[in-house]
Amino acid sequence: MGFDWVSFAYAATVASGGIIGYVKAGSSVSLGAGILFGGLAGLGAYRSSVDSSDIWLSLGISLSLGGLMGYRFYNSRKFMPAGLVAVLSIAMVARCLCNMNKPSSSKTE
């Protein structure tokens, strides 16, 4: 099976968002959260690349970020960055749930 490029792109977006938040606003919390969640999303992307049925880490990260950033968007009404990350996270949750119904292509010997 090939790499899960969509999940890797999501992870890179989350991590780069944290870096941009640090550069633009000096927010070390944004940097730490972006690197942490982006790194975990990257690990989830790697795991789902190795075994397409192993989506649990990706699903957990996407749910967490979707809920957190959705709440921040609801309170601030600012699309950037909270609304964008919430939309991307919800899309990743939907993608993970769709992938749960597909048969696994990993080989077990």
Per-residue pLDDT 10s for the chain (109 aa) are 578 899 999 999 999 999 999 999 998 999 999 999 999 999 999 998 998 888 899 999 999 999 999 999 999 998 988 899 999 999 999 999 988 877 655 545 4
Count of structural domains, the chain: 1
Note whether residue 63 is domain-resident.
Answer: yes
Query: What domain range includes position 71?
Result: 5-100
Report d(CA 38, CA 20) in Å as an integer: 13
Note whether residue 12 is domain-resident.
Answer: yes
Note whether residue 106 is domain-resident.
Answer: no
Note whether residue 107 is domain-resident.
Answer: no
Token pair in block for residue 82: 């909270």
Note whether residue 66 is domain-resident.
Answer: yes
- Predicted model pTM: 0.86
Token pair in block for residue 104: 């696994």
